[in-house]
């Protein structure tokens, strides 16, 4: 597949780390919330192997924050998500589907409770701030909504714990998964969460003080030498093998959380008030008519740049592939697909056309295991 | 400047025309409303010269539509823009800043009035649909809001009129600027507007029927041979020379329309109801504290990937450059900058650092003339 350049501009702006990752060998970008997000440092497969054994530092500044504070902030945040936040605690992160009144997914952020009346919505790629502003204006909520100057650095991989301990001390290894706390570095306090968009373990550093964050970036590479640290980015192979869903790829505003297997974040049996609640009750009662599933395809290569139809032996469309990659682990192409009823019930086979060739595939459960 | 690849995925999806423009020599993309938008076909300067003398067909499918219909649609559309739409007519396009309750710009779309209760908001790069949905839910408006399957083709350049006349007949040349009408091609009806994101003249074809649109795409190149038609895209040089503002580049949610010289689209002296009206009255009364201006810089090259500070002789920041390009017409770098008070009043000089060299520049009016 031919490579095309990405055109730079303020509209698709650089991050504070861009000049560093360009010295460190970034080769491809994507856009994420109107910012450059690194997508490759040379071979995806080399980065995947490195990530699973070592530690990487990622420029994920594109994961922007929507800060919501004020008297009605809790009410607004709860209104936007089907996950029950009534027992949420300060210092914890919550994975929360944000949905509209038709139960269509608008984003799938991690929400950080910073205080009783202060939240960060750490967003996937859509302008959640506009939805929050529209709702707050329409409902006359007493809230303040803005995008703070936060540029996340992720430290991911099995050696991330040892690396971070060397810099921040033992306390950082004692944090629970999806907990966060504040740590001092070079004269600034950084919010650090035990989280990240891989299944290899690690942290996300919410850098508010850019100068200190850049010093920390350099420190991570200096101290990280003994752990074989490299610059990296969310890795397509690792995230699909781990079945980490990607908003905009695997699901979008035309899908609801029950179709996407997010049932455990859909809390219908409480008296909390959120958009799309009645719609979700109705969908749950009737049962979903399609479902996000795994697929395994007998092929060695794939590039997904839009949905690709999956066709069965009777020439019927059984669903569409939304993400895919060659998996070194499974030695086949694996992917995430929206499969129509009744095909999601069985180990259905299908054909798929990739670069004008036809390949055989099979539906499977997620995660792939 | 080194080139970096753009990573493809469904989240930054292809358009129906992508496979065609890749055969026609597209070399760079940017993202626009979560879609690929071509940014270059080889040399920007060659494309610029070609556009000013001939005709180009552009894949601008990324210019998505937000369709708003229903009993309260007019009320919702008016609520979002400071332009008075009370006398708007079916069959006309309206350039409308969309602003929030603080008068911060959210987008600067062209709004098409399709019917008394049906509108298309043809958006720049931000998720206006989420703002509209949030407002409609909060206000309990009786509206339907969705993104229809519309993939715009622009036909731009001085020979666009002759080319389009050959395909659609004389009627298409009689349309007024920012008017639209429906034209038949290959069994489908296409909405075509006399509009487009260049000052070289032309049309935008709102393709709803993809099959017919692809046939039309090919027809434009077949019939266009005699007019020296080429595939193209919005051209950075042409748009800056023409002072066409770009949302996300020249202005964003931290700016208000009065700072951006959009005064003629700010209608404060009517009784229409829109967000940010009181705030705009207040700003107008006090006067703006900064203003979008042109700048001319004694340099031969620039790449703007984020705001660049402009510093005067006394080492004070007088503003920031937001877009820039080398202009073959002015034989200098020209750009669009947000200039702070009091420097926007005068023909102020400044220094700017580009690739570690320092250049001299001067503030000027927009358009450059």
In angstroms, rounded to a whole number, what is the distance separating the alpha carbons of residues B332 and A50? 47
Answer whether B13 sits within 8 Å of A133, measured CB to CB. no
Pair of tokens at residue B351: 């220094």
**Nearest to residue B309, comparing CAs of B324, B319, B299?**
B319
Task: For residue B122, give the DSSP letter.
Answer: E
At a CB cut-off of 8 Å and minimum separation 6, what does A201 contact?
A: A156, A157, A158, A160, A161
Q: Where a domain ends, among A222, A240, A258?
A: A240
Q: Which domain holds residue A318?
A: 289-369
Helix axes A73-80, A128-139, angle to 10 degrees: 120
Asked if residue A262 is part of any domain, the answer here is no
Interface test with B, best of A306, A309, A325, A338 (most B CBs within 10 A): A306
What confidence category does residue A290 fall into, taking pLDDT thresholds of 50, 70 and 90?
Answer: very high
Structure tokens at B338: 């947000």
Q: Of B222, B240, B258, which marks where a domain is finished?
A: B240
Q: Give pLDDT, residue A1.
A: 64
Question: Residue range A307-319: average pLDDT?
Answer: 96
pLDDT tens per residue, range A157-189 = 999 999 999 999 999 999 999 999 999 998 899
B110-115 and B5-6 beta bridge pairing: unpaired
Instruction: Let me know whether A322 and A219 are in one domain.
Output: no
Q: Do the chains contact at B130 and A106, CB–CB below 8 Å?
A: yes
Specify burial of residue A98 (Cβ count, 10 A radius: 0-12, 13-18, 19+). Answer: buried
* Complex-level ipTM beyond the 0.90 threshold: yes
Question: Can you tell me the mean pLDDT for A119-143?
Answer: 98
Q: Give me the mean pLDDT over the A53-57 stretch.
A: 98
* Alpha-carbon gap, residue A334 to A227, rounded angstroms: 30
Specify whether B158 is located in the same domain as B48.
yes
Same domain, A199 and A298: no
Report pLDDT for A112: 98
φ, ψ dihedrals at B278, nearest 5°: -65, -40
Chain A positions touching B307 (Cβ under 8 A) are 10
Which one of B179, B213, B240 terminates a domain?
Answer: B240
Question: Are A228 and A309 part of one and the same domain?
Answer: no
Q: How far is A192 from chain B (nearest CA, A)?
A: 27
Is A56's pLDDT higher than 70?
yes
**A355 contacts in B (CB within 8 Å)?**
none
Please give the average per-residue pLDDT across A100-112, as a whole number: 98
CA distance A86 to chain B (A): 21
| In a shared domain, residues B40 and B175 | yes
d(CA B127, nearest CA chain A) in Å: 6
Same-domain pairing of B299 and B363: yes
Q: Which of B25, B76, B121, B130 to mutate to test the interface with A (most CBs of A within 10 A)?
A: B130
Token duo for residue A108: 């799938």
Query: What's the pTM?
Result: 0.97
Residue A115 lies in a domain: no
Are residues B294 and B226 both part of a single domain?
A: no
Q: Compare all CA atoms of chain B with the CA of A126 and give the residue at the minimum distance.
A: B127
Residue B219 CA: distances (Å) to CA of A24, B25, B29: 46, 18, 24
Helix (H) / strand (E) containing A165: helix A160-168
pLDDT digits (tens, 9 = 90+) for A226-280: 999 999 999 999 999 999 999 999 999 999 999 999 999 999 999 999 999 999 9
Q: Collect all residues of chain A within an 8 Å Cβ-Cβ radius of residue B255.
A: none
Report yes or no on B235 lying in a domain. yes
**Claim to verify: residue A23 and residue A157 sit in the same structural domain:** yes
In chain A, residues with a C-beta closer than 8 Å to the C-beta of B128 are 130
Question: Distance between CA B209 and CA B211 in Å, rounded?
Answer: 6
Q: Give the span between the Cα atoms of B126 and B108, in whole angstroms.
A: 10
Q: How many residues does chain A have?
A: 369
Which residues in A lie closer than 8 A to residue B39 (C-beta atoms)?
5, 7
Question: How many beta carbons lie within 10 A of that of residue B155, not counting itself?
Answer: 26
The CATH number for B359's domain is 2.40.30.110
Q: What percent of chain A has pLDDT over 70?
A: 100
The answer for B49, left when phi > 0, alpha when psi is -120 to 50, beta otherwise, is alpha
Partners of B334 in the beta sheet? B296, B325
Q: How many CB atoms lie within 10 A of CB B43?
A: 11
Find, in chain A, the residue whose alpha carbon is nearest to that of B9: A305
pLDDT tens by residue, chain B, 369 residues: 688 999 999 999 999 999 999 999 999 999 999 999 999 999 999 999 999 999 999 999 999 999 999 999 999 999 999 999 999 999 999 999 999 999 999 999 999 999 999 999 999 999 999 999 999 999 999 999 999 999 999 999 999 999 999 999 999 999 999 999 999 998 899 999 999 999 999 999 999 999 999 999 999 999 999 999 999 999 999 999 999 999 999 999 999 999 999 999 999 999 999 999 999 999 999 999 999 999 999 999 999 999 999 999 999 999 999 999 999 999 999 999 999 999 997 789 999 999 889 999 999 999 997
The residues near B275 (Cβ < 8 Å, ≥ 6 apart) are A137, B79, B80, B99, B100, B101
Q: Which chain A residue has the Cα nearest residue B27?
A: A4
Q: Find, in chain B, the residue whose alpha carbon is nearest to that of A15.
A: B306
Residues B191, B327, single domain; the answer is no
How does DSSP classify residue A7?
P
Instruction: Note whether residue B56 is domain-resident.
Output: yes
Q: Do B10 and A322 touch (CB under 8 A)?
A: yes
Q: Within this chain, do residues A199 and A315 fall inside the same structural domain, yes or no?
A: no
Q: Which residue of A has its CA nearest to B144?
A: A102
Pairwise CA distance, residues A304 & A322, whole Å: 7
Q: Cβ contact (<8 Å) for A249 and B131?
A: no
CB neighbours of residue B67 within 10 Å: 20
What separation, in Å, do the N-terminal and C-terminal C-alpha atoms of chain A show?
30
- What is the number of domains present in chain B? 2
* Closest residue on chain B to A8 (Cα): B305
Residue B94 included in any domain: no
Chains A and B form CB pairs within 8 A to the count of 184
Find which of A25, A106, A130, A301 to mutate to test the B interface (most B CBs within 10 Å of its CB). A130
pLDDT of residue B356: 87
Within this chain, do residues A156 and A234 fall inside the same structural domain, yes or no? yes
Asked if residue B318 belongs to a domain, the reply is yes
In a domain, A198, yes or no: yes
A2, pLDDT greater than 90: no
- pLDDT tens digits along B74-126: 999 999 999 999 999 999 999 999 999 999 999 999 999 999 999 999 999 99
**Chain A residues near residue B127 by CB distance under 8 angstroms:** 126-127, 130-131
The shortest C-alpha distance from B130 to chain A (Å) reads: 5
In a domain, A267, yes or no: no
Structure tokens at A29: 């970008």
Q: What is the CATH number of the domain that holds A159?
A: 3.30.1360.120
């Amino acid at each position: 597949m031919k490579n095309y350049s990405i055109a730079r501009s303020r509209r698709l702006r650089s991050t504070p780390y861009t000049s560093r990752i360009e010295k460190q060998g970034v080769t491809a970008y994507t856009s994420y919330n109107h910012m450059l997000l690194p997508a490759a440092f040379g071979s995806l497969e080399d980065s995947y192997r490195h990530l699973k054994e070592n530690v990487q530092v990622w420029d994920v500044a594109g994961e922007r924050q929507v800060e919501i504070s004020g008297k009605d902030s809790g009410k607004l945040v709860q209104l936007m998500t089907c996950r029950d936040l009534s027992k949420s605690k300060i210092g914890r992160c919550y994975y929360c589907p944000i949905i509209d009144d038709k139960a269509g997914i608008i984003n799938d952020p991690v929400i950080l409770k910073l205080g009783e009346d202060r939240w960060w919505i750490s967003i996937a790629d859509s302008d959640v701030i506009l939805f929050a502003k529209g709702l707050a204006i329409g409902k006359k909520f007493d809230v303040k909504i803005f995008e703070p100057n936060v540029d996340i650095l992720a430290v991911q991989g099995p050696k991330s714990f040892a690396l971070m301990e060397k810099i921040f001390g033992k306390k950082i290894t004692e944090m629970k998964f999806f907990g966060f706390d504040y740590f001092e570095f070079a004269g600034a306090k950084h919010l650090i969460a035990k989280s990240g968009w891989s299944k290899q373990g690690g942290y996300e550093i919410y850098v508010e003080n850019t100068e200190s964050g850049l010093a920390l970036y350099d420190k991570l590479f200096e101290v990280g030498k003994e752990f074989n640290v490299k610059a990296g980015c969310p890795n397509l192979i690792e995230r699909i093998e781990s079945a980490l869903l990607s908003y905009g790829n695997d699901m979008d505003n035309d899908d609801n959380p029950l179709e996407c297997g997010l049932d455990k974040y859909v809390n219908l049996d409480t008296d909390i008030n959120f958009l799309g609640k009645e719609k979700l009750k109705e969908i749950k009662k009737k049962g979903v008519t399609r479902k996000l599933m795994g697929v395994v395809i007998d092929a060695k290569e794939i590039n997904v740049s839009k949905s690709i139809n999956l066709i069965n032996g009777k020439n019927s469309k059984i669903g569409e592939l939304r993400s895919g990659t060659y998996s070194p682990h499974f030695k086949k192409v694996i992917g995430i697909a929206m499969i129509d009823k009744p095909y999601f019930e069985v180990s259905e086979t299908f054909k798929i056309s990739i670069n004008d060739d036809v390949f055989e595939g099979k539906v499977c459960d997620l995660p792939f295991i």
